[in-house]
Amino acid sequence: MLPKSQKMNNKNKNQTDYKKLSCPTCKSENIIKRGKRKTENRGLIQRYKCKDCNKRFVIDDGFFRMRNSSKKITLCLDLFYRGISTRKVQEHLQAFYPHNSSNVTIYNWVTKYAKMISGFTDKVKVNNGNEIQLDEMEYHRRTDNNSQGVSKDWFIDSIDCKTRFLLSAEYVGSRGKAEITYAFKETKERAVNHITICTTDGLLTYPDVIKRVWGYHSIKQKKVVHNRVNASKGEGFNIYIERLHNSLRQRTESFRGFHGSIESANSIMKGLVIFYNYIRKHQTLGCCPYELATDIKLENPNKWLELIEMSKANN
């Protein structure tokens, strides 16, 4: 049995934990525990009561009102981004989980939680090196499942050459000046250290955008150098970002045209960015890019779950 003093310490610790919560209705911190809610697949969930407005509530840990456990949902996220289709994931669940989920439900989980996590990770500051590479990748998206027509879209992203961390990534309908400018601005805002080299291909839009984002004075004094590389002319190769694009192509070639809207396609690609930065170990680095580029510490082997919890805590 535990000593009486240790029991009191544990009791005070538990009280402190839930006393830090606030009521979602009136924002009061005058709350108490009020029983537990029994669920079919998520076990017992602690319920709380606000003594000021008499409202009862449960903590939104990212899985509020979800009918499946957090372990099952994050398992589906991990399988999907490791290259398994939603229908194959459904077959996997059918073999190991009695309460199965459809492929449409799994797809909805992917878009929902990729969007949720990216809302947090897209604001994380990056301890970058001095050079970044920015490029765009073309995708064809089917606008209607019953038609053969496609919409030509673009995935515009930038990578830090030192840590291999993706600083900016957006799936957009065109690669005009506005989209390129947004990518460079997001890259500049997230970078903690000053960027001195911007490496791009020979697209004519880049020089003017770089001057606008970093300033004509910085370009003139060579505080920021625009390194234009045209592989077709034998000027070199943007190896870091092109290698990344090869990995993305390998995963997205089975998507069959990103059926749906640009928003859903962007959510899926955001999830791929999260998988690349935080989940998958980089073969050259021997660790995930976030370990070198950010101050975030992920201690749970289920990194998807920990990222979802961080996203809700910082919402």
- Name, of 10-24, 89-103, 157-171, 223-237, the range with top average pLDDT: 157-171
Arithmetic mean of pLDDT, 251-265: 81
Q: What is the DSSP letter of 202?
A: S
The answer to whether the beta carbons of residues 174 and 154 sit under 8 Å apart is yes
Confidence category of residue 294, pLDDT binned at 50, 70, 90: very high
pLDDT of residue 221: 83
Q: In this predicted model, which residue has the larger pLDDT, 18 or 132?
A: 132
**Structure confidence by residue, pLDDT tens digits, 176-187:** 999 999 999 999
pLDDT of residue 1: 44
pLDDT of residue 17: 58
Cα angle 32-37-41, degrees, rounded to a multiple of 5: 145
CATH 3.30.420.10 fits 131-261, yes or no: yes
- For the chain, what is the mean pLDDT? 85
Q: In this predicted model, which residue has the larger pLDDT, 202 or 166?
A: 166
Q: Going by C-beta distance under 8 Å and a sequence separation of 6 or more, which residues neighbour residue 71?
A: 302, 305
Looking at domain 4-58, its CATH class is mainly beta
pLDDT of residue 274: 96
* Three-class secondary structure of residue 142 per DSSP: strand
CATH 3.30.420.10 boundaries in the chain:
131-261
pLDDT of residue 151: 84
Q: In this predicted model, which residue has the larger pLDDT, 61 or 250?
A: 250
Is the pLDDT score of 137 beyond 90?
yes
Q: Which amino acid is at 251?
A: R
pLDDT of residue 147: 61
- Name, of 23-27, 118-122, 262-266, the range with top average pLDDT: 118-122
- Name, of 142-156, 255-269, 274-288, the range with top average pLDDT: 274-288
CA pair distance 210, 226, nearest whole angstrom: 8
**Structure confidence by residue, pLDDT tens digits, 273-284:** 999 999 999 988
The answer to whether the beta carbons of residues 278 and 298 sit under 8 Å apart is yes
Token duo for residue 57: 């509530």
Is the pLDDT score of 167 beyond 90?
yes
**Structure confidence by residue, pLDDT tens digits, 13-62:** 344 455 677 887 888 888 888 888 777 677 778 888 888 888 888 877 78
CA pair distance 10, 107, nearest whole angstrom: 41
pLDDT of residue 236: 65
pLDDT of residue 11: 41
**Structure confidence by residue, pLDDT tens digits, 84-116:** 999 999 999 888 887 778 999 999 999 999 999
Arithmetic mean of pLDDT, 137-141: 89
CATH 2.20.25 boundaries in the chain:
4-58
Name the nearest CA neighbour of 205 among 235, 226, 236, 234: 226
CA pair distance 284, 206, nearest whole angstrom: 29
